[in-house]
């Protein structure tokens, strides 16, 4: 029986507002703890002595956009972080001196995106970075002195997509895309790049074969490798002889993670993720530590940071139905110390378990999937509701990415509002072998979409939901899938929520960021080639824009004006086409966002609109919009009248 008393409505702020803390790390020398936390409402980097965690101070002063990523300098003397402007993804590198607190821009250039190529165990005061300030398409490797800020050009890059360096910060391998959509690997000796590739991949192996690093002595290079097999294995290659040894492989999933010794660089443990992540230790001491942690921690955990002497680890723990926690693990004393709880306001909230599933597509592919049910709907705890409930099909982005097991704020939010939430790893998703990826080549809007329809049919047949009560929602590729769902299969979904999704595949490919141009051949081979008549026809056929007049169900669109991947024009085009056809649509634009909504106020505002939109379509619960939209930068470009709580006076 379904509970008579509905579960507490979890405030959006508790799920999507700033966490209390996140991103905990320990400095390589073990003397400092660091984390991200709000300062004046914006996520900044904080530190405290490891000997006195209560003596905390903010080290950065971001005032607008949250800092998305930071890391320790190898010498533990400074913290490094990246930041862009308004979501344009032109990330610059910044450094903060621990002793003085001085903050400075280490890459002071305009319209430039920094890549970190390599760090070193033996050279602690320098790192290798790539800068595309000379030619936006290619990143030139530079040696950056972290103390002086001096940049030394290592070589000019006129066509390579990436580089691999050793512990001496010497470039050893250059990676160039080839015409087939794969990669050529060129050895670098004495700063000179070999003309002939020593190894190559074709399209099939392009997303599942790549080098991941050297041991500190430079004698062994590690690969994630799918050549000659389906799922990617972990390979050790002896540099002198080129002899390869398989360290680990799994028939169902690619090797996805590795733990390397901080000093030697030797891999000590690896992971693969089919439905859940499984870690296997190679080194006996690492195995002892991982086993000790497994006995004491509920749910999933991972090693987030390690000291150079490997005596202290930062452990992130996801208990799944309670807020995630982070611990300091003293391996010598076998002691776990609380570091922080990420969202303490979720303690006691009605968080729901995520169920793992395998759904079979119409042509026999097994689709690893995840289902979260509304509180009180599954009295037996079987993973199936007592009676069908409305459902949101939540489609992941990429598409060369994946849905994963663990705490998911969007799953919890939608389940709390009364919906089953189904996340599907459709063909093209990564982590399940190259054949699973290649099954999606030139199948945008076709077999990839069929997988999603098959998942909906599974949910209906198994009593999870009813056919007339299913919404589709997603960001990026998930936004495209939403538009495809409402145009190619207009009667399947009750409504759709598209977040930064492309509507026109031709203009999407024509407007990719310049630094994606080296891998454009892969887009042509996997999505469609606009340079051939057949390819252009395919792209038009698979573009929801050209079927916008067939939309019959409500649509909500969210877009960042500065999105460098899926330009604003992708949303503008389909909104204009719908307006011309007299079809209602609600369109929310954020002028200070890019590919997604980084600012909590903006994310909360869009989710406030989305849940009230879904409530109107599916009948679930909704927290009132209140002042969330006015507290954000949202511009209601079109259709405010279609969502309860919005008014035309707010429209642009």
Reported as a pLDDT band with limits 50, 70 and 90, residue 601 is very high
Band (pLDDT 50/70/90 cuts) for residue 618 is: very high
Structure confidence at residue 268 (pLDDT):
98
Residue 170 lies in a domain: no
Q: What mean pLDDT comes out for the span 211-227?
A: 97
pLDDT value at 3 more than 50: no
Residue 466 in domain: yes
Q: Residue 651: pLDDT above 60?
A: no
* pLDDT tens digit sequence for 463-510: 999 999 999 999 999 999 999 999 999 999 999 999 999 999 999 999
Q: Looking at the domain assignment, is residue 521 inside a domain?
A: no
Residue 474: which of 453, 499, 448, 455 has the closest Cα? 499
Q: How many CB atoms lie within 10 A of CB 627?
A: 10
Q: What is the torsional sign of CA 114, 116, 117, 122?
A: positive
- The phi, psi pair for 417, rounded to 5°, reads -85, 0
Interior angle at CA 215, CA 209 and CA 219, nearest 5: 95
Closest residue by Cα to residue 301 from 257, 332, 349: 257
Q: pLDDT-derived band of residue 6, with 50, 70 and 90 as boundaries? A: confident
pLDDT tens sequence across 336-378: 999 999 999 999 999 999 999 999 999 999 999 999 999 999 9
Q: Please check the confidence at residue 453 and state whether its pLDDT lies above 70.
A: yes
Exposed (0-12), middle (13-18) or buried (19+): which is 568, by Cβ within 10 Å? middle
The per-residue pLDDT for 644 is 87
Give me the chain's average pLDDT, please.
96
Is residue 524 situated within a structural domain?
no
Q: For position 648, what pLDDT does the model report?
A: 42
Q: Which residue is catalytic, options 166, 454, 563, 592? A: 563
> In this structure, is residue 23 part of a structural domain?
no
pLDDT digits (tens, 9 = 90+) for 248-276: 999 999 999 999 999 999 999 999 999 99
Helix or strand holding residue 608 (H, E): helix 600-618
In the predicted model, is pLDDT for residue 647 greater than 90? Answer: no
Residue 402: inside a domain, yes or no? yes
Residue 175 CB neighbours (<10 A) = 18
pLDDT beyond 90 at 558: yes
Percentage above 90 pLDDT, the chain: 96
Q: Could you tell me which residue, 285 or 645, shows the higher pLDDT?
A: 285
Burial of 333: CB neighbours in 10 Å, binned 0-12, 13-18, 19+: exposed
Res 1 pLDDT > 80: no
Give me the residue label for tokens 């139905």.
321
- The DSSP element (H or E) to which 458 belongs, if any, is helix 447-461
Is 449 one of the catalytic residues? Answer: no
State the pLDDT at residue 258.
96
Residue 601 maps to a domain: yes
Structure tokens at 500: 């930064």
166 is catalytic: no
User: For the chain, what percent of residues have pLDDT higher than 70?
Assistant: 99
Q: How many structural domains comprise the chain?
A: 1
Q: Buried (b) or exposed (e) across 517-551, using 16+ Cβ within 10 A?
A: bbbbbbbbbbbbbbeeeebeebbeebbbbbbbeeb
Catalytic residue among 396, 411, 524, 595: 595
pLDDT at 5: 72
Whether 649 has a pLDDT exceeding 60, the answer reads no
Where are the alpha helices (H) located in 297-342, listed in sequence order? none
Whether residue 596 is contained in a domain is answered as yes
The domain in which residue 586 lies consists of 354-504+543-650
- Known catalytic residue at 54: no
Phi and psi for 316 in degrees, rounded to 5?
-95, 125
Dist CA 363 CA 153 (whole Å): 52
Q: What is the largest CA-CA distance in the chain?
A: 73
pLDDT value, residue 645: 85
Q: pTM (2 decimals)?
A: 0.96
- pLDDT tens digits, one per residue of 374-408: 999 999 999 999 999 999 999 999 999 999 999 99
Helices H / strands E in the chain, number of each: 11, 37
Task: Render pLDDT for 154-165 as a digit per residue (tens, 0 to 9).
Answer: 999 999 999 999
Which residues contact residue 338 at a Cβ distance below 8 angstroms, ignoring those fewer than 6 apart?
A: 325, 327, 328
**pLDDT interval class at 650 (50, 70, 90):** low
pLDDT at 555: 98
**Domain of 635: which CATH number?**
3.40.50.1820
pLDDT band at residue 4, thresholds of 50, 70 and 90? low
pLDDT of residue 652: 46
Catalytic residue among 76, 322, 476, 543: 476
């Amino acid at each position: 029986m379904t509970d008579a008393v509905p579960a507490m409505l979890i405030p959006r702020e508790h799920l999507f507002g700033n966490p209390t803390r996140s991103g905990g790390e320990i400095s390589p020398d073990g003397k400092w703890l660091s984390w991200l936390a709000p300062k004046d409402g914006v996520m900044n980097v904080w530190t405290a002595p490891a000997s006195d965690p209560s003596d905390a101070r903010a080290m950065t002063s971001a005032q607008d956009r949250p800092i998305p990523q930071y890391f320790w300098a190898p010498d533990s003397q400074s913290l490094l972080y990246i930041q862009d402007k308004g979501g344009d993804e032109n990330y610059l590198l910044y450094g903060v001196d621990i002793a003085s607190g001085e903050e400075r821009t280490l890459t002071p250039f305009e319209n430039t995106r920094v890549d970190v190529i390599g760090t070193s165990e033996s050279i602690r005061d320098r790192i290798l970075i790539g800068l595309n300030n000379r030619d936006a398409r290619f990143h030139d490797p530079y040696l950056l002195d972290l103390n002086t800020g001096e940049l030394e050009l290592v070589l000019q890059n006129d066509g390579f997509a990436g580089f691999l360096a050793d512990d001496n910060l010497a470039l050893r391998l250059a990676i160039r895309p080839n015409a087939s959509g794969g990669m050529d690997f060129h050895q670098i000796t004495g700063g000179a790049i070999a003309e002939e590739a020593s190894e190559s991949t074709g399209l099939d192996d392009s997303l599942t074969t790549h080098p991941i690093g050297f041991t500190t002595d430079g004698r062994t290079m590690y690969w994630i490798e799918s050549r000659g097999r389906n799922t990617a294995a972990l390979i050790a290659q002896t540099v002198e002889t080129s002899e390869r040894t398989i360290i680990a492989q799994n028939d169902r999933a690619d090797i996805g993670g590795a733990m390397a010794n901080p000093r030697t660089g030797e891999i000590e443990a690896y992971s693969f993720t089919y439905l859940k992540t499984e870690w296997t230790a190679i080194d006996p001491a690492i195995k002892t530590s991982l086993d000790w942690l497994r006995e004491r921690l509920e749910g999933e955990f991972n090693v987030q940071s390690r000291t150079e002497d490997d005596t202290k680890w930062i452990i992130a723990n996801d208990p799944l139905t309670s807020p995630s926690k982070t611990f300091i693990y003293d391996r010598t004393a076998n002691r776990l110390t609380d570091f922080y709880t990420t969202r303490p306001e979720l303690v006691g909230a009605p968080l729901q378990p995520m169920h793992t599933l395998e759904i079979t597509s119409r042509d026999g592919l097994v689709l690893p999937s995840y289902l979260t049910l509304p509180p009180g709907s599954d009295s037996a705890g079987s993973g199936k509701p007592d009676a069908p409930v409305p459902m949101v099909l939540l489609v992941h982005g990429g598409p060369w990415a994946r849905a994963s097991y663990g705490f998911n704020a969007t799953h919890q939010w939608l389940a709390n509002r009364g919906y089953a939430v189904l996340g599907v790893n459709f063909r093209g998703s990564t982590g399940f072998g190259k054949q699973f990826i290649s099954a999606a080549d030139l199948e945008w809007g076709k077999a990839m979409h069929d997988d999603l329809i098959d998942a909906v049919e599974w949910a209906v047949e198994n009593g999870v939901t009813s056919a007339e009560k299913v919404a589709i929602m997603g960001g990026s590729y998930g936004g495209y899938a939403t538009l495809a769902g409402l145009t190619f299969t207009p009667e399947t979904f009750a409504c759709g929520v598209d977040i930064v999704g492309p509507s026109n595949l031709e203009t999407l490919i024509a407007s990719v960021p310049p630094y994606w141009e080296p891998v454009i051949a892969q887009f042509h081979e996997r999505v469609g080639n606009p340079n051939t008549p057949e390819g252009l026809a395919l792209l038009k056929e698979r573009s929801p824009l050209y079927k916008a007049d067939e939309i019959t169900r409500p649509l909500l669109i969210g877009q960042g004006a500065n999105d460098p991947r899926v330009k604003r024009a992708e949303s503008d085009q389909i909104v204009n086409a719908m307006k011309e056809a007299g079809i209602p649509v609600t369109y929310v634009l954020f002028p200070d966002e890019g590919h997604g909504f980084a600012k909590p106020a903006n994310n909360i505002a869009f989710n406030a609109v989305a849940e009230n939109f879904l409530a109107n379509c599916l009948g679930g619960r909704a927290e009132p919009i209140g002042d969330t939209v006015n507290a954000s930068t949202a511009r209601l470009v079109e259709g405010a009248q279609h969502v309860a709580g919005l008014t035309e006076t707010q429209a642009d």
